[in-house]
Amino acid sequence: MNVMEMFSLKGKTVLLTGGAGLYGRQMTEALCEAGAKVFIASRNLEKLEETAAKYGASALQLDLNSDESIASVIGKIVAETGRLDVLVNNAVTRCACGNWAEDMAYFDRSLHTNASALFVLTKHVGEVMKKQRSGSIINIGSYMGLLGPNPVNYTGTDMFDFEKTSPIYFYEKGGMTNFTRFAASILGHWNIRVNCIAPGGYFNGQPEAFVKQYSANTMLGRMANDDDMKGLLVFLASDASSYITGAIIPADGGYTAK
């Protein structure tokens, strides 16, 4: 196969959870540009529809707290296209990121969406992919799932309170890395690949002190921009990465390699 054709997503159906957030927008754009039939799904349908219209995707309402909603979205996609080739687990809730001192019920609400729903959605999509004997599942993790917080980044800002900050996001994203390996092992028999992208910090108007300090901790001397996830995502979704599975790939300008 011609190498450029290997990167094409023409004829492939993609489900991207989220799709209208900071990284979601560029991922939606990339998948559409590569020729895929893209469905973006989350609870905020109005915001999704704006993004979908801009890039040529389709928007579906998805409540990751509901087994029925998960099954319904997958059913709608398969009914329309007859297949599901790529799942991008991107949606995340940060409902329990405020304070380490919360009770268990508070943390459980975050874990329900960011862990239990991840398992259920991946399992349901995996069943569709098994029938095809092919598929690519891409989990969107974080450099925060590979490292602890660095106090130096936050010096001179009020972004991070080390006395009160919650461990939940670090715990969930760390768990996602090994869930990726688990799912890759379980689903590999059916030629279903599972990989994880661990993005670094995305520039979003943070205080100058944070931007300077964080950037100095990368090898490229900057934060992520609106294009930095696009190429890697398309690579993992496409046949160009057909022999890659179980991989955790940082997209962080070298932050985790220092």
Residue 138's nearest CA partner among 123, 124, 122, 117 is 122
- Tell me which amino acid residue 56 is: G
For the residues 128-148, what does the mean pLDDT come to?
97
Cα 167 from Cα 145, distance rounded (Å): 11
Q: Which whole number is the average pLDDT over 69-77?
A: 98
Burial class (CB in 10 A: 0-12, 13-18, 19+), 239: middle
Can you tell me the mean pLDDT for 95-122?
Answer: 86
The model's pTM is 0.96
Mean pLDDT in residue range 54-66 = 96
Q: If you average pLDDT over every residue of the chain, what do you get?
A: 94
Query: How much is the pLDDT for 36?
Result: 98
For residues 26 and 227, the answer to whether their CB atoms sit within 8 Å is yes
Which pLDDT value is given to residue 88?
Answer: 98
Mean pLDDT within 181-197: 98
Model confidence at 105: pLDDT above 70:
yes
User: Residues, the chain, total?
Assistant: 258
Cα dihedral angle (138, 188, 37, 232), rounded to 10 degrees?
40
- C-alpha gyration radius of the chain: 18
Q: Catalogue the E-assigned strands of 3-143.
A: 13-17, 37-42, 58-61, 86-89, 135-140
For the cut 70, the answer to whether the pLDDT of residue 220 exceeds it is: yes
State how far the alpha carbon of 189 is from the alpha carbons of 143, 174, 184, in Å. Answer: 29, 25, 9
Return the HEC string of 114-152: HHHHHHHHHHHHHHHHHHHCCEEEEEECCHHHCCCCCHH
Beta strands in 134-233 (DSSP E): 135-140, 192-199
Domain formed by 3-149+167-205+226-250, architecture: 3-Layer(aba) Sandwich (3.40)
What is the per-residue pLDDT for 97? Answer: 53
38-53 tens-digit pLDDT: 999 999 899 999 999 9
Does the pLDDT at position 96 exceed 60? no
Identify the CA nearest to 182 among candidates 127, 231, 122: 122
pLDDT at 5: 95
